[in-house]
Amino acid sequence: MIQLMIWNSSDLERAKPASSSSLISRTPSGTTPRKSSGLMGRFSQLLSFDMEEPRSLPTEEQLAAHQLTRETIQSCHIDSIFSESKFLQAESLLQLVKSLILTASRLSKGTGPVDDEGASVFCLELLIAITLNNRDRIMLIWQEVYEHISNVVQSTIMPCTLVEKAVFGLLRICQRLLPYKENLTDELLKSLQLILKLDARVADAYCEQITQEVMRLVKANATHIRSHVGWRTITSLLSITARHPEASETGFETLAFIMSDGAHLLPSNYVFCVDAARQFAESRLGDVDRSVSALDMMAGSVVCLARWSSEAQIAVGQEAAMKLSRDIGEMWLRMVQGLRKVCLDHREEVRNHAIVMLQRSLVGVDMIHLPIALWFQCFDLVIFTLLDDLLDISLESSPKNYWKMEETLVLAMKLMAKAFLQQLQDLSQQPSFCRLWLGVLNRMERYMKVKFRGKRSEKIHELVPELLKNILLVMKTTGVLKPSDDIGGDSFWQLTWLHVKNICPPLQSEVFQDHELEQMQAKNMKSGVPAPDETLTVPSSERTV
């Protein structure tokens, strides 16, 4: 029937030429053109078989046949098939959808008498209208509808009306059906991944409008989106906007709606949202304030991790709590790794704020039950790596590209010292503590040697000994650093002072008074252990961390 409506005017219309706008209604010469709007208006135009102005007038027989066909079709009230499709039998509905898709497919391939994008658009609009009218039977037709939209999206390489209708029709379907079809939420949101497959030129042309529709979808349906799959699609669409001039503002507003105050953060979307926030923090399209806000959202998400961790301890058994604790730990590690990347930003305000937010995320996690092994990972992957990267930038990059790196190095050194002291008691109980401690000393030693424009940094030369002295005093007070220690073997004490002497020689006498050193020396001589001031050869494997 659909093909008949679109194509079977050939016998009646031979005198009328094919055109690129066959759905625009025109009457024979001598009458005033009439234009209809809306889907049913376009449907009436289609039934009339009106074309462009003919080059030659049809014969009286052709006009009569045309009029008879028109009246016959109109008397059948075919438009009610579409407007009242929800009353069709299941098989009839499915066949109607398939017929529309087949017709549109032939039109797009140019295999029918009418080769017109307008006709393909019309079929697509009918298809979307039928889908929306049959939300209670969506499973019956969804696969067919989705595949047709997918074909349109993936076969179009330039912006055009057809792909525009396909993309925004798909978004409209998701917006309308998400509140009513919880069992289809993942399937509907997964379908939006088609937008990610758009040709770059097409995506760029519609990115701003797409983002606006995604924002409407999220604000209206955030509570209905629960799964990993659904949120991955949403955050992928938002991440793309971070570097799009027209869409980035709306994209960030949507992400802020999800993340601010943990409003809609879930274990299923946490990593995705944090990664999207990092991309906005790194983007230079917005001003510095937006990058700072993105960093605030990343660090502020720790509150959610703490809440989930506390809830897990109460709500689930010990085994499940341990698994959830590991999962939360991995989320936290991903978040601080993201912050570390922004700490290398060219913009001074952004990288310094990133370091401050990273420090807050490291020392403000008392409520999160993080496995101790994760802290060793954090020092290796985040803290030590950050200090090494910043030092390399200071030594190798032009000051024109990185302004005021001295202040950044100061902040990074304070971060390492605070994180180390925060976890000292737990870390010191582990076999790998000696290696970790040498890593801290190694970074302090290297930072003491850094120069800016050929001159040493007075700020760093004042800061590092002060931080190191504070750490040593705490280690002494807590019993972590003592002559008779067992941490890392008998060499821990000597290894410590070997590095300290390279950083600030007077510190040993400032931390341990003379009488304490004398007592230590006497004890060591009895046990055969080298005295503190004796030379000790350190294995090369333990010198550099």
For residue 360, what pLDDT is reported? 97
Q: Which range is most confident: 4-8, 332-336, 392-396?
A: 332-336
Residue with tokens 């280690």: 475
CA 531, CA 527: separation in Å to the nearest integer?
Answer: 10
pLDDT digit string, tens, across residues 119-146 = 899 999 999 999 999 999 999 999 999 9
The secondary structure element, H or E, covering residue 451 is strand 451-452
Residue 160's pLDDT band, with cuts at 50, 70 and 90, is very high
pLDDT digit string, tens, across residues 75-87 = 776 677 777 778 8
- Per-position b or e across 299-337, b if 16+ CB within 10 A of its CB: bbbbebbbebbeebeeeeeeeebeebbeebbebbbebbb
For residue 473, what pLDDT is reported? 96
- Taking phi first (over 0 means left), then psi (-120 to 50 degrees means alpha), and beta for anything else, what does residue 115 get? beta
Q: Mean pLDDT, to the nearest integer, of 3-12?
A: 43
- Asked if 413 contacts 460 with a C-beta cutoff of 8 angstroms, the reply is yes
For residue 183, what pLDDT is reported? 85
For residue 522, what pLDDT is reported? 66
CA 394, CA 31: separation in Å to the nearest integer?
Answer: 79
- Asked if 245 contacts 255 with a C-beta cutoff of 8 angstroms, the reply is no
Residue with tokens 């020392």: 363
The secondary structure element, H or E, covering residue 455 is strand 455-456
Q: Mean pLDDT, to the nearest integer, of 517-540?
A: 52
- Asked if 180 contacts 137 with a C-beta cutoff of 8 angstroms, the reply is no
CA 508, CA 469: separation in Å to the nearest integer?
Answer: 9
Q: Minimum mean pLDDT among 70-79, 183-192, 300-309: which range?
A: 70-79
**Residue 452, strand partner residues:** 455
CA 293, CA 525: separation in Å to the nearest integer?
Answer: 59
Q: Is the pLDDT of residue 331 over 60?
A: yes
On the CB side of 364, how many CA atoms lie within 13 Å of its CA?
14
- Asked if 118 contacts 20 with a C-beta cutoff of 8 angstroms, the reply is yes
For residue 38, what pLDDT is reported? 52
pLDDT higher at 474 or 35: 474
**Residue 451, strand partner residues:** 456
For residue 342, what pLDDT is reported? 98
Instruction: Please state, rounded to an integer, the average pLDDT across all residues of the chain.
Output: 84
**SS3 letters across 280-324:** HHHCCCCCHHHHHHHHHHHHHCHHHHHHHHHHHHHHCCHHHHHHH
The CB density around residue 459, as the number of other CB atoms within 10 Å, is 14
- Report how far Cα 84 is from the mean position of its chain's Cα atoms: 41
Q: Which has the closest alpha carbon to 402: 344, 453, 443, 445?
A: 344
- Asked if 126 contacts 23 with a C-beta cutoff of 8 angstroms, the reply is no
The CA-based angle 174-178-184, given to 5 degrees, is 95
The secondary structure element, H or E, covering residue 235 is helix 228-241
Which percentage of the chain shows pLDDT scores above 70?
80
Residue with tokens 């005295």: 531
- Token digits of residue 343: 């700490």
For residue 304, what pLDDT is reported? 95
Q: Is the pLDDT of residue 391 over 50?
A: yes
CA 136, CA 125: separation in Å to the nearest integer?
Answer: 19
Q: Is the pLDDT of residue 303 over 90?
A: yes
For residue 267, what pLDDT is reported? 94
**Residue 455, strand partner residues:** 452
pLDDT digit string, tens, across residues 454-474 = 788 899 999 999 999 999 999
Question: Phi, psi at residue 525, to the nearest 5°?
Answer: -65, -35
On the 0-12 / 13-18 / 19+ scale of CB atoms within 10 A, 202 is buried
Q: Is the pLDDT of residue 479 over 80?
A: yes
pLDDT digit string, tens, across residues 412-464 = 999 999 999 999 999 999 999 999 999 999 999 999 999 887 788 899 999 99
Residue 43, CA distances (Å) to 66, 80, 132, 429 in order: 17, 11, 17, 78
pLDDT digit string, tens, across residues 44-75 = 554 444 444 445 688 988 888 888 888 887 77
For residue 181, what pLDDT is reported? 83
Q: Mean pLDDT, to the nearest integer, of 326-346?
A: 96
**Residue 456, strand partner residues:** 451
Residue 175, CA distances (Å) to 221, 247, 478 in order: 8, 19, 59
Q: Which has the closest alpha carbon to 276: 300, 224, 240, 229?
A: 240
For residue 514, what pLDDT is reported? 67
Residue 17's pLDDT band, with cuts at 50, 70 and 90, is very low
- Asked if 15 contacts 57 with a C-beta cutoff of 8 angstroms, the reply is yes
Residues 494, 498, 499, 501: is their CA dihedral positive or negative?
Answer: positive
- Residue 99, C-beta contacts closer than 8 angstroms, at least 6 positions apart: 1, 2, 3
For residue 316, what pLDDT is reported? 64
Q: Which has the closest alpha carbon to 58: 35, 30, 32?
A: 30
DSSP state of 544: -
CA 394, CA 385: separation in Å to the nearest integer?
Answer: 14
- Asked if 58 contacts 66 with a C-beta cutoff of 8 angstroms, the reply is yes
